[in-house]
Amino acid sequence: MLDLSRFRVLELSTGISTPLCGTALANLGADVIKVESSHKPDLNRARAAPPNWPYADMTEGFLQFHEVNAGKKSIRLNLKQARGRDLLLRLVAKCDLLIQNFAPGWLDRLGLSADHFFEVNPALVMVFLSAYGQEGPLRAQRAYAPIMSALSGLEGIVGYEDEEPVGVLATALGDPNGSYFSLLLALAGLYRRERTGAGTLIDLSCVEAVTTLLGEPILAWQATGERPRLGGMHCADAAPHGLYATRGDDRWVAIAVENTDQWRALAALVQSRASAAFWADPSFEDVRVRLGRQREIDGALARWTGTRDAEEVAEALQARGIPAAPVLGALDLDHHRHFVERGLVHWVNHQLLGTIGVTGTPWLVNGEAPPVRGAGPSLGHDTEAVFRDVLGIDGEEMEALRLGGVVE
């Protein structure tokens, strides 16, 4: 199992992107301390209650909070007070990595900056994640994940063939994409620190992180002057290539034929007495012919899949070496055999919610998933322990901090 337990991470965060990075680090064993305040709560502690919610608020109960904060410690610190900022700097001095994603300018307004952090800890690695980056004309503009994917071009490249874009807005991919870029850069910074002792400030832009995935159409535009056309399910070098309706309500199977052997195997499997002439057409062995007659092929293939179960179709095609898989919905994932075998979901206890399923870091290390060390922390659950163990503050001094509203 991977073991990053020698690293202490301080996290100043809200939402998804940086918190998910922090949880991945916690799953790998790092000691992750989330600094929170009731003056500026994580937006996932301030959600509107769902219908029939039995508790006063959502401070502890939002499931997505636990998805991206599992296994961390939480401390409450009032950074609007000078003493609170001083304590934060003392914590920074004891940490290896600081990750944060509050809007650019937030630290400045508190009278803090990366330079203050470097002053107390020159070996500190910092990842400041934001939508646009810490500098530049758009740095202060509000953004959520779909804003990032719209500006990067991602929303504009997905749609039905030759129609208007539909986009991928519901997937909010700009956030986890930023999370794992953040993880990579944080670990790279720690690697350098181990070798040189030097700290690094990494200023990560989520818009850039999505844009970097679109290099292929960006280069194609420059080379040809053609914007990428919306191709629906089509692919330039595979045919058939699509999602085909199967038996059941809104059930589909994904099929791609990438070479002649796969085409022959598919044709042999699906042809019936009535359709034998169509599937046996030798011209279809040329992918260019299949691409040109894809609608015909799609129709014939859909007639075959439509009377069968998606899993059954996928199994039959895979047995013949043809790429195929069922289309699963988000609610199918928890109990699907593949993901159960792979340990995607970790079941942990929470004092309010009971047993909840938390998505783990999707890697197996020597055959085992990195363990999720618990649900997200209660607000301020670890304040006392962290101040005692990390800063040596307890007893009367701690009580004074509480009375002064420094430690909430």
Looking only at residues 1 through 40 of this chain, which bind other proteins when binding is defined by CB under 8 A?
1-4, 7, 16, 20, 24, 28-29
Candidates 31-39, 134-142, 273-281, 385-393; binding stretch for other proteins (CB under 8 A): 134-142
Amino acid at 52: N
Using CB under 8 A as the binding rule, whether residue 203 contacts other proteins is answered as yes
Using CB under 8 A as the binding rule, whether residue 180 contacts other proteins is answered as yes
Among 306, 338, 347, 385, binds other proteins (CB under 8 A): 338
Using CB under 8 A as the binding rule, whether residue 245 contacts other proteins is answered as yes
Report the site for other proteins in 114-133 (rule: CB under 8 A): 114, 118, 122, 132-133
Among 113, 212, 272, 349, binds other proteins (CB under 8 A): 212
Using CB under 8 A as the binding rule, whether residue 93 contacts other proteins is answered as no
CA distance 25 to 76: 21
In angstroms, give the least distance from the CB of 131 to other proteins: 9
Report the site for other proteins in 312-331 (rule: CB under 8 A): 318, 321-331
Among 147, 239, 267, 348, binds other proteins (CB under 8 A): 147
Decide whether 267 or 401 has the Cβ nearer to other proteins.
267
Candidates 87-95, 102-110, 173-181, 270-278; binding stretch for other proteins (CB under 8 A): 173-181
Task: Name the DSSP class of 234.
Answer: -
Using CB under 8 A as the binding rule, whether residue 103 contacts other proteins is answered as no
Give the residue among 399, 391, 407 at the shortest CA–CA distance from 120. 391
Using CB under 8 A as the binding rule, whether residue 176 contacts other proteins is answered as yes
Which runs of consecutive H residues, i.e. helices, occur in 202-259?
Answer: 206-211, 215-224
Which runs of consecutive H residues, i.e. helices, occur in 54-154?
Answer: 63-69, 82-93, 106-109, 114-120, 145-152
- E strands within 16-148? 31-36, 73-76, 97-100, 125-130
Count of positions on this chain that bind other proteins (CB under 8 A): 150
Residue 162 CB burial class (10 angstroms; 0-12, 13-18, ≥19): exposed
Among 108, 261, 332, 394, binds other proteins (CB under 8 A): 332
Using CB under 8 A as the binding rule, whether residue 70 contacts other proteins is answered as no
Amino acid at 44: N
Q: Angle, to 10 degrees, between the axis of helix 82-93 and the axis of helix 383-391?
A: 60
Q: Which residues pair with 99 in a beta bridge?
A: 11, 127
Report the site for other proteins in 263-302 (rule: CB under 8 A): none
Residue 148 CB burial class (10 angstroms; 0-12, 13-18, ≥19): buried
Using CB under 8 A as the binding rule, whether residue 41 contacts other proteins is answered as no
CA distance 172 to 267: 38
Using CB under 8 A as the binding rule, whether residue 198 contacts other proteins is answered as yes
Among 22, 84, 104, 156, binds other proteins (CB under 8 A): 156
